[in-house]
Structure formats: C-alpha cells, structure tokens
Amino acid sequence: MKDLTLQLIDQVCQAYQQRTPLMIQGNNSKAFAGRTPHKNKAKDNVSTLSTAAHTGIISYQPVELVMTARAGTTLAELRAALDEHQQILAFEAPDFDGQATIAGTLATNLSGPARPWTGSVRDMVLGTRLINGTGEYLRFGGQVMKNVAGYDVSRMQAGALGTLGVITEISFKVLPRPEYSTGLTLELPASEAIVLMNQLAGQANPITGACWYRDQLHIRLSGAARAVDKTVTSWSQKYGFQQATQDNFWQQLQHQQLPVFTETGALWRFSVNSTADDLAPAVHQTGIEVSDSLIDWCGSQRWLRTPETLAEQQNTQLQSLQRLAENARGSVTLWQGGDRSQEINQTLNPVLERLHKNVKQAMDPAGILNPGRLYSWM
Amino acid sequence: MSQSGKPDRQTLARLFSEFIDPEYVIADEETQKPYECDGLSMYCEMPLIVVLPETLKQVQQVMKICHQYQIPVVARGAGTGLCAGAMPHKEGVVLSLAKFNQILDIDPLARTARLQPGVRNLAISEAAAEYGLYYGPDPSSQIACTIGGNIAENSGGVHCLKYGLTVHNALSVEMITVEGERVILGSEGLDSAGLDLMALITGSEGLLGVVTEITVRLLPVPEKAQVVMAGFHTVQAAGDAVGAVIAAGIIPAGLEMMDTHAIHAAEAFANAGYPLDAEALLLCELDGTTEEVDQYIERVEQFFLQQGASSVQVSGSEAERAAMWKGRKSAFPAVGRISPDYYCMDGTIPRSQLARVLTEMQKMSAEYGLRVANVFHAGDGNLHPLILFDANVPGEFEKTEAFGGRILELCVEVGGCITGEHGVGMEKIRQMSAQFNEQEIAQFHRLKQAFDPAGTLNPGKGIPVLKHCQEYRSLPSSDTSVMPLTHHHSAGDHS
C-alpha cells in the first residue's frame, strides 16, 4: 500500500514540459486493449508511466456501499476486502489472473455478465482523482451516490484508455452479494436465444445473466432465495430450462476464459441493440469466416472470432463490419489480433471526431497521455 | 441591427419568423413572461426572444443564426428545474422544446423508448405500462418535468439507490451542436465507440449542446412493492436503522427520512398517519417478486424494531402504500403551508454524517433565526433542507441564501457535495468553489470550450467564471462572479 501521487504528478509535469508521450500502465494485464501506436518506443521517445505500485484501499464503508482505492489496486484485493462484508464489485470485471487493476478496468470500461442489470464499472464510479495532461492533480465527483455539480469527468474516463488523464484514485459504489445464485441452460439456436433472453429480461424476475454460447442459452438468476427458486421452477416448466449443476460457466465468462476469448485469430466485439439478429451469418456473408461466437449482456454484446486479419485487408474488414454494427444500432471494435498500428475502432463521423479532438485537447493539450491508443488521431 | 452588429429583437424575430410560425416567435414582454424563470422563481430575467421550433431543421436553423451573431441560447423544457438553470439570458434566445413532445417509439422486446425531449417523465412510464415496463428515474416533479430537462440535470428521484440516475438509464441522444450540426452520442448498445460523451452531456445543464432526441432504457414493473414506515425518537437511531438494512444486504427501492418539522407539515397536509411524536420518520419501500418482497419486508421490520423504532407499520394494500408516499411526496408544498416561503437545498452527504449535519444545521438555524425542515433521501445521502422564510420581510431572502450557502459548504466539508440532483444552474454557482478548486473549474471551462468555443450556450450557468481568467469570459453579461444580476420574486410552490 503506497501513495505515489507526487511521483506520478512529477512524471506527467516533466513529460508535459518536454512534450514527450507517456504510456500509462498498471499491471499490463490489458496490453491487448486499444491500438499499439508505437512500433519503436525509444525512437518515439515514449516513456512508461507505471501506476502498478500506487496501491491500497483508502476507505471502505460497507454501510455506505462506497469504496475508494488507488489506481494500481487489484480487483482481487478489492474483492477480498468486500468479501468480509458479503459485498461485491457488481460490475464483475475480468480479473486477468489476479492482475487487473481498478484504474485499468475503468480505463477499458470492462464489465461482466451482470452489466445489463447491475451496471458497468462506468455506472458504479462516483468520483476520481486524476492528473490531466498538463500535470494538474484534479478531483471530480466524490464519495456519494448523487452528485451533479460540474461535468461528469469521472465517468468520461470509462473506455477512454487513459487518453484523458492519469487516474490515480477511484471511488465507486459496491453492492451486497446476492443471497443465492443459480444457472439455467437450454439448447437453442442463436437467433431464437436472442429473442427469448430479451423476453425473459422484460419480466420482473431476479435475472442477472443471459448469454448464448455454442448452441446453449445460459441464464443466471440471483437474489432472494425464494424468488430465485420460484423462477427456476416456473421457467423450467414454461421453457424447458435445465438447472445447471456445479458448472463454472459464469466464472469463465466473467474472466474471459471461455475458448472464444482464448483461441487464436482476430476477436471482434460488437456493442449493439440487444435484439439485433445474430451477427455471425451476416459477418460470414461479408466473406469473413466466423469460427466461434458468443452473445452476452442479454444480446447487447457480441463476440466473434475470425481468422487473423491480413494487414492490407483490415481496414476493409473493419468498414464492412462497421456497416453491420450500424445496422444493429451499435459499434464494433477489433478487440484482439490484427495489425494494431492501424485503426481498430469504429470510424466516427466528422462532427463526433471534432468533438473527440476538442475534448482530448481540453484534457491533454500537448497530446502526451497514451496518444494514439484509442484512435490514431488523438 | 444594433451597433454591435447583433440583430436587435425585432430583426431577430423577423429572421426566425422566416422559417418558424410567427405565433411561436415570442418577442413581446407579456407573452414572454411565463418564461422568465424556472421552478426557482426567486431568480428571473426576461429574454430577448422566446422561440418554439417544431422541427429538427428549425432548431438547427435557430442555432445557426444564434451562432452567426453570437447570441446566447438557453434551451428549456417544462421549466420545473430548481436551480435557475433555465433562467433566460437577457441578451439571448430561449429555445423552448415544448413542441417536441412525442414518444417516437417504444420497443418492448429491447426495453427501450425513443423520445423527443419535451416528453414528460411520467408519460414515459404511462406509455410503457401496457408492456409491463416503466422508466426508472422518478423526480418529484415527474408529472410535469421533461426527459430533455432530466438529461440536462441528470435528474434522480426517490428510487436512485436501486435504479440509478438519468445517466444510468439513458442510452443515447441526438444533439444539435452550438454550430447547428446534428450528432448522435451513445448508441442502442450499452456502450459506444470512442469517448463516453453521454456521461459528459448528462447533467451538463444545456452548456454543451441542445438535445433533440433521447433513447432510454425501460425496466420491468416489479411484481410487488410494499412500504415499511417507522418512527424513531432520534435522527441517529433512524440513520443507524438505515445502515442496518444496507449492511444486511438489502437494497430498498426507496428509502426516505423526514425530520419532525417535515413530519408535522406533511401529516397536516396529507393525513398519511405519520407518527407525530417521532423525531424522525423512515419510509422504506421494497420491490421485486412477491417472494423477495415478503422475505425482506419481515427482516426490515425486525431491523427497525431492533434499532428502537417507536412505531412500525407495513403497508397492507396499494392504497395504504400510496397514502404513506403521499405525505412524503407532498412534503414540499406541505411545508409551504407552515411558512409564507421556503427555499429548498440539495446537498448530498455520506449517511454516517447525518446526525452531525443536522445538529450543525440546527445551530445555524438559531443563528439566522430561520426555521429549517428536512427531507432526506436516506438511501443515497441526498439531503433537502427546506429553509422557511418570508420574502416580504426585507433582507430575509438574502439571509436565507446565506444560510443555504453555509449548509452546502457544510455538506462538502463532511465529504459530500453541493447538489445531488437539482443542478448548479445560476443558484449554486457561488458554492462551486467550495467543492472545486480553481484548476478544476478551469478544466470545466476547457471542456465547455471543446463544445462551445464562444460560450453562447446557457452562459453564466453551471460553472463560475474565474475572476483572473479573462479568456473564459467571452460574453460580458455572462459574468456570474458579480451576483446578483437577477431580481427576486417570492418562492414558488414546486417540489
């Protein structure tokens, strides 16, 4: 448990004065996330700014449902502290072998299967302290559930991949551990599973997970024991669900350990309208072979595994998949694989791109914080 | 045209009337009068012009003209806001979105609703009811306030602890930039490409753009909801009782506390059966499946008794539940009956600090010679002290504002914030520096510039002008460091 705030501020100030880029890094468990803008770090004068040793839980008040921790604190450490009070990180972010840190989780906005019901890491953030691109140490939000003073700079860090500031401290909401959880499964093709999971989510039942993988629809129920049991009985009778026996499917899904996440090739992530039809056949039609696919977040998040992209075809592929994503009212990212010096995220329209550049300029005028990690142009 | 090169009132009215029905281009003072303030009627100002466009194109054109001549634009929904966020600018245009009042689509399977900004908050749930769905955030003004205003203020309500604020329930918006361009932020997915600009826009008080369409998430209507009402002899005991419920892993749908002044006023108004001998009253609502509610309601009842509740009552029917809430929901107007005027504050504090804050507040109350009643969203720490005063007594409103300012500073001091759900607007702009230092405020200004370089969107609201930062002061009349620029009216009866 160490407070390295002053050193971190010093390093950003120096980089700002010298106009040299910084690559922000926690435990490097998510090196795959975002672009890899620098082929030669030494040549580009890039230095690493490590938050890995800036660790520790600063405060935790179980009855307030609020925890505050330094950037480099691992989720594993947070979970251990929460466990003593039967509380959880409801956003269920992946652990990546115990290495994932709270700031890295926020910067990548990674949330697990319960996301449609209990919210994302972005939703749980109450406040942050961060260092902007000129080395100023700033505090936004706070440790209370409701706070509408000033712009919500804290939540804007979610998914920004460190391009807007060096997050040094985060306060977030935690929730009680559900009294009881159980899983249900049903063999079903993807397109039917998408409809059914959305129908189930529209009913007032204690559902906290809906995922389709390899012809199986998986439903997770959590909450008051009596309510869960009643739903198990009712849905088994009505739809033919089987109660899952001692499987660790939800654990593997949360921590991205299922084969779709670990196979070789390229992995595409679609974030779309939950009811959009299965994307695998449509992707296949564009001439890209889909070897595996998983539908999570009750249909809102789709993972598609394809063969490794060829560098010269990557942009064309991204554009075709972007059209599919837009039809499904969402967006696409080349999550893993491919040539990561090229663009990997959905192209933004000119107005949105200008706003992005302006926001980047407002937070990091010299462009020294993770430049190029999100888009080549910011 | 005036000497500054800006069109004067009549010229601007003519320009707008070329593409908007002249009936909806309001340039005369009498017709403009209803637009002079929002729900915080102590702050008012007459605008240059009020315009009520009916189409997206018209909104874009209004924005383009205002951009061309650098005319301030204040977007307005139902005007129920409580921080003077929609108060007009005297050299500016009030852009009312009242005519954008259509529910464009409800998708029952995806559980989303696509809405124009002038749709009333409650109308969303009413329309979704036939699908067994509803919209979560329920500010007390929900019968009148609009979803566009909810986005501007990141509105909450009594169910925030379990169901979140507007920022947790809005998926996407269509926004018109200050230049008049159309842009979509967010998506129908649960996140979108690039930066999370939805987080920035939600609660930005009309300072960054004009929202013209909103897509929100809908939730299934719970099978059952039931309320436990309990009286306590001390605020501390009531606070501890709340802690005990949370520590036991129960997240109530609503958890409200009222102090003795509020209990008496509400009971006289609503006859809800509130215990008049109690120093603090808790209303704890549980919702979910019948089994869940039955299981937890018993436990909550036990916790309250264990924490020394002087009375405990569980709602036995929907009518009883409604009666229990009626008192709470009418607490503001009820307090209005025991005082000529009241001024509603909106700080948030860590719940553990409640007893300390209330004690300090009583001391201040004696010091200022003004009574204060308290209504508290106990689940999420949002405190609404109502300062009772008489606007007809010279100097009393000024004294009330000073008292209110000190309450908000106290909230920050104990680890909370100056506004939980009402927003900063014009009202709390002076308290912003209690919560944020100059660097943070300067950062807010740079973000504002990212969207609105000339500072014509709702100038003078939300973020105070730093005295030494001349570059941020683009409009002479947007200088809010020299307050007050408004004249005072008596307090409204909004809740």
CATH number at residue A217: 3.30.70
pLDDT score recorded for residue B337: 86
Residue A303 in any domain: the answer is: yes
Residue A60 in any domain: the answer is: yes
* Predicted confidence band of residue B164 (pLDDT cuts 50, 70, 90): very high
Q: Give the DSSP per-residue string, B345-412.
A: --EE--GGGHHHHHHHHHHHHHHHT--EEEEEETTTTEEEEEEEE-TTSTTHHHHHHHHHHHHHHHHH
Q: B477: which DSSP letter? A: G
Q: B465: which DSSP letter? A: P
Q: Residue B371 in contact with residue B436, Cβ under 8 Å? A: no
The 10 Å CB-count burial string (b at 16+, else e) for B271-290 is ebebbeebbbbbbbbbbbbe
What domains can be seen in chain B, in order of their start residue? 9-96 (3.30.43.10), 103-220 (3.30.465.10), 224-332 (3.30.70.2190), 342-413 (3.30.1360)
Q: What's the rounded Cα separation, in Å, for the pair B425 and B448?
A: 14
Instruction: Please check the confidence at residue B486 and state whether its pLDDT lies above 70.
Output: no
Cβ–Cβ below 8 Å for B443 and A136: yes
User: In this structure, are A56 and A138 located in the same domain?
Assistant: yes
The label of the residue with tokens 């921590």 reads: A255
Q: What is the pLDDT of residues B26-82, one digit of tens each?
A: 999 999 999 999 999 999 999 999 999 999 999 999 999 999 999 999 999 999 999
Instruction: Please check the confidence at residue A1 and state whether its pLDDT lies above 80.
Output: no
pLDDT more than 90, % of chain B? 85
* Predicted confidence band of residue A43 (pLDDT cuts 50, 70, 90): confident
Q: What's the rounded Cα separation, in Å, for the pair A198 and A331?
A: 20
* Predicted confidence band of residue B476 (pLDDT cuts 50, 70, 90): very low
User: In this structure, are A219 and A172 located in the same domain?
Assistant: no
Using alpha carbons only, how large is chain B's radius of gyration in Å?
23
B181 touches chain A (CB under 8 A): yes
Q: What is the pLDDT of residues A240-280, one digit of tens each?
A: 999 998 679 999 999 999 999 999 999 999 999 999 999 99
| Facing residue for B249 by CB, picked from A156, A179, A330 | A179
User: In this structure, are A41 and A164 located in the same domain?
Assistant: yes
Chain B residues close to A202, C-beta within 8 Å: 108-109, 111, 131-133, 220
Instruction: Please check the confidence at residue A239 and state whether its pLDDT lies above 80.
Output: yes
pLDDT more than 90, % of chain A? 95
| Facing residue for A201 by CB, picked from B111, B223, B421 | B111
Q: What's the rounded Cα separation, in Å, for the pair A27 and A53?
A: 9
> Out of A114-118, A220-224, B281-285, B351-355, which region has the weakest mean confidence (pLDDT)?
B351-355
Residue A301 in any domain: the answer is: yes
Q: CA-CA distances (angstroms) from residue A316 to A288, A325, B192?
A: 11, 14, 21
pLDDT score recorded for residue B174: 98
Q: How far is A20 from chain B (nearest CA, A)?
A: 22
Cβ–Cβ below 8 Å for A152 and B181: no
pLDDT score recorded for residue B355: 87
Residue A363 in any domain: the answer is: no
Q: How far is B10 from chain A (nearest CA, A)?
A: 33
Retrieve residue A104's tokens: 């890295």
Q: What's the rounded Cα separation, in Å, for the pair B160 and B306?
A: 26
Cβ–Cβ below 8 Å for B351 and A63: yes
Chain B residues close to A131, C-beta within 8 Å: none
Q: What is the pLDDT of residues B271-297, one digit of tens each?
A: 999 999 999 999 999 999 999 999 999
Cβ–Cβ below 8 Å for B418 and A176: no
Q: Residue B324 in contact with residue B258, Cβ under 8 Å? A: no
Chain A residues close to B348, C-beta within 8 Å: 142, 144-147
Chain A residues close to B204, C-beta within 8 Å: 151
pLDDT score recorded for residue B469: 52
Calculate mean pLDDT across residues B139-150: 94
* Predicted confidence band of residue B492 (pLDDT cuts 50, 70, 90): very low
| Kind of pairing between the strands at A87-88 and A175-176 | antiparallel
Interface of B with A in 23-52 (CB under 8 A): none
Q: Residue B62 in contact with residue B16, Cβ under 8 Å? A: yes
Q: What is the pLDDT of residues A306-343, one digit of tens each?
A: 999 899 999 999 999 999 999 999 999 999 999 999 99
Cβ–Cβ below 8 Å for A164 and B195: yes
Residue type, B50: V
Q: Which of B195, B204, B421 to mutate to test the interface with A (most CBs of A within 10 A)?
A: B195
- Beta bridge partners, A70, equal A169
Tally A–B CB contacts below 8 A: 278
User: In this structure, are A21 and A117 located in the same domain?
Assistant: yes
Q: How far is A330 from chain B (nearest CA, A)?
A: 5
pLDDT score recorded for residue B468: 57
Cβ–Cβ below 8 Å for B191 and A122: yes
Calculate mean pLDDT across residues B224-230: 97
Q: What's the rounded Cα separation, in Å, for the pair A149 and B85?
A: 12
A233: nearest Cα among A250, A221, A248, A216: A221
User: In this structure, are A75 and A166 located in the same domain?
Assistant: yes
| Backbone dihedral region for residue B349 (phi beyond 0: left; psi -120 to 50: alpha; all else: beta) | beta
Regarding predicted confidence, which is higher, B476 or A191?
Answer: A191
Closest alpha carbon within chain A to B204: A151
A325: nearest Cα among B140, B189, B470, B353: B189
* Predicted confidence band of residue B4 (pLDDT cuts 50, 70, 90): low
Chain A residues close to B196, C-beta within 8 Å: 109, 122, 155-156, 158-160
Instruction: Please check the confidence at residue B330 and state whether its pLDDT lies above 90.
Output: no
What's chain B's average pLDDT? Answer: 92
User: In this structure, are A115 and A147 located in the same domain?
Assistant: yes
| Facing residue for B191 by CB, picked from A61, A132, A271 | A271
Cβ–Cβ below 8 Å for A116 and B190: yes
Instruction: Please check the confidence at residue B489 and state whether its pLDDT lies above 60.
Output: no
* Predicted confidence band of residue B478 (pLDDT cuts 50, 70, 90): very low
User: In this structure, are A165 and A209 located in the same domain?
Assistant: no
Q: B286: helix, coil or strand?
A: strand
Q: CA-CA distances (angstroms) from residue B352 to A69, A219, B161, B234, B377?
A: 20, 38, 16, 14, 13
CATH number at residue A148: 3.30.465.10
Interface of B with A in 245-304 (CB under 8 A): 246-251, 288-289, 291-292, 294-296
> Out of A192-206, B430-444, B473-487, which region has the weakest mean confidence (pLDDT)?
B473-487
SS3 for chain A is CCCCHHHHHHHHHHHHHHCCCEEEECCCCCCCCCCCCCCCCCCCCCEEEECCCCCCEEEEEHHHCEEEEECCCEHHHHHHHHHCCCEECCCCCCCCCCCCEHHHHHHHCCCCCCHHHHCCHHHHEEEEEEECCCCCEEEEECCCCCCCCCCCHHHHCCCCCCCCCEEEEEEEECEECCCEEEEEEEECCHHHHHHHHHHHHCCCCCEEEEEEECCEEEEEEEECHHHHHHHHHHHHHHHCCEECCCCCHHHHHHCCCCHHHHCCCEEEEEECCCCCCCCHHHHHHCCCCCCEEEEEHHHCEEEEEECCCCHHHHHHHHHHHHHHHHHCCCEEEEEECCCCCCCCECCCCHHHHHHHHHHHHHHCCCCCECCCCCCCCC
Q: How many CA atoms lie within 13 A of A15 on its CB side?
A: 32
pLDDT score recorded for residue B1: 56
Cβ–Cβ below 8 Å for A148 and B292: no
Cβ–Cβ below 8 Å for A224 and B181: no
pLDDT score recorded for residue B466: 84
CA A10 to chain centre: 29
Instruction: Please check the confidence at residue B477 and state whether its pLDDT lies above 60.
Output: no
Closest alpha carbon within chain B to A271: B189
Instruction: Please check the confidence at residue A299 and state whether its pLDDT lies above 90.
Output: yes
Cβ–Cβ below 8 Å for A156 and B154: no
User: In this structure, are A11 and A147 located in the same domain?
Assistant: yes
* Last residue within a domain, chosen from A176, A191, A211: A176
| Backbone dihedral region for residue A170 (phi beyond 0: left; psi -120 to 50: alpha; all else: beta) | beta
Q: What's the rounded Cα separation, in Å, for the pair B272 and B263?
A: 10
| Facing residue for B380 by CB, picked from A115, A146, A351 | A146
* Last residue within a domain, chosen from A209, A236, A254: A254
| Facing residue for A146 by CB, picked from B109, B420, B436 | B420
Q: How far is B309 from chain A (nearest CA, A)?
A: 19
pLDDT score recorded for residue B157: 85
Cβ–Cβ below 8 Å for A201 and B200: no
B92: nearest Cα among B114, B111, B109, B75: B75
Q: Residue B139 in contact with residue B150, Cβ under 8 Å? A: yes
Q: What's the rounded Cα separation, in Å, for the pair B468 and B207?
A: 21
Closest alpha carbon within chain A to B200: A152
Cβ–Cβ below 8 Å for B423 and A116: no
Residue A354 in any domain: the answer is: no
Retrieve residue B357's tokens: 């804050």
SS3 for B134-192 is ECCCCCCCCCCCEHHHHHHHCCCCCCHHHHCCHHHHEEEEEEECCCCCEEEEECCCCCC
Closest alpha carbon within chain B to A200: B109
Domain range for A205 is 180-254
Residue type, B310: S
Complex confidence, ipTM: 0.97
B432 touches chain A (CB under 8 A): yes
User: In this structure, are A142 and A223 located in the same domain?
Assistant: no
* Predicted confidence band of residue B3 (pLDDT cuts 50, 70, 90): low
pLDDT more than 70, % of chain B? 94
Residue A83 in any domain: the answer is: yes
| Kind of pairing between the strands at A137-141 and A125-131 | antiparallel
B101: nearest Cα among B124, B131, B125: B124
Q: How far is A76 from chain B (nearest CA, A)?
A: 21
- Max CA separation in chain A (angstroms): 68
Q: Give the DSSP per-residue string, B198-264.
A: HHHHTT-TTSS-EEEEEEEE-EEPPSEEEEEEEEESSHHHHHHHHHHHHHTT---SEEEEEEHHHHH
pLDDT score recorded for residue A44: 83
- Max CA separation in chain B (angstroms): 73
Instruction: Please check the confidence at residue B475 and state whether its pLDDT lies above 60.
Output: no
Q: How many CA atoms lie within 13 A of B150 on its CB side?
A: 37
Calculate mean pLDDT across residues B362-373: 95
Instruction: Please check the confidence at residue B333 and state whether its pLDDT lies above 90.
Output: no
User: In this structure, are A156 and A36 located in the same domain?
Assistant: yes
Q: B311: helix, coil or strand?
A: strand
Residue A345 in any domain: the answer is: no
Closest alpha carbon within chain A to B423: A148
pLDDT score recorded for residue B470: 44
Instruction: Please check the confidence at residue B474 and state whether its pLDDT lies above 50.
Output: no
User: In this structure, are A74 and A43 located in the same domain?
Assistant: yes
> Out of B16-25, B64-73, B103-112, B318-327, which region has the weakest mean confidence (pLDDT)?
B318-327
Q: Which of A115, A151, A318, A319 to mutate to test the interface with B (most CBs of B within 10 A)?
A: A151
Chain B residues close to A327, C-beta within 8 Å: none
Closest alpha carbon within chain B to A116: B190
Domain count, chain A: 3
Using alpha carbons only, how large is chain A's radius of gyration in Å?
21
pLDDT score recorded for residue B2: 56
What's the residue count for chain B? 495
Chain B residues close to A195, C-beta within 8 Å: 109
pLDDT score recorded for residue B43: 94
CATH number at residue A312: 3.30.70.330
Q: B49: helix, coil or strand?
A: strand
> Residue B306: in which H helix or E strand, if any?
helix B290-306
Q: Which of B138, B377, B417 to mutate to test the interface with A (most CBs of A within 10 A)?
A: B417
Retrieve residue B87's tokens: 């108060």
B435 touches chain A (CB under 8 A): yes
Q: What is the pLDDT of residues A112-148, one digit of tens each?
A: 999 999 999 999 999 999 999 999 999 999 999 999 9
* Last residue within a domain, chosen from A235, A254, A273: A254
Retrieve residue B2's tokens: 């005036």
Q: What's the rounded Cα separation, in Å, for the pair B383 and B347?
A: 5
* Predicted confidence band of residue A225 (pLDDT cuts 50, 70, 90): very high
Q: What's the rounded Cα separation, in Å, for the pair B368 and B297?
A: 42
User: In this structure, are A250 and A277 located in the same domain?
Assistant: no
Chain A residues close to B417, C-beta within 8 Å: 142, 144, 146-147, 149
Retrieve residue A336's tokens: 């893993």
Residue A341 in any domain: the answer is: no
Q: What's the rounded Cα separation, in Å, for the pair A11 and B425?
A: 37
Calculate mean pLDDT across residues A152-179: 97
Retrieve residue A156's tokens: 């804007």
Q: How far is B377 from chain A (nearest CA, A)?
A: 10
Q: What's the rounded Cα separation, in Å, for the pair A299 and B110?
A: 9
Interface of B with A in 377-396 (CB under 8 A): 377, 379-382
| Facing residue for A202 by CB, picked from B220, B348, B415 | B220
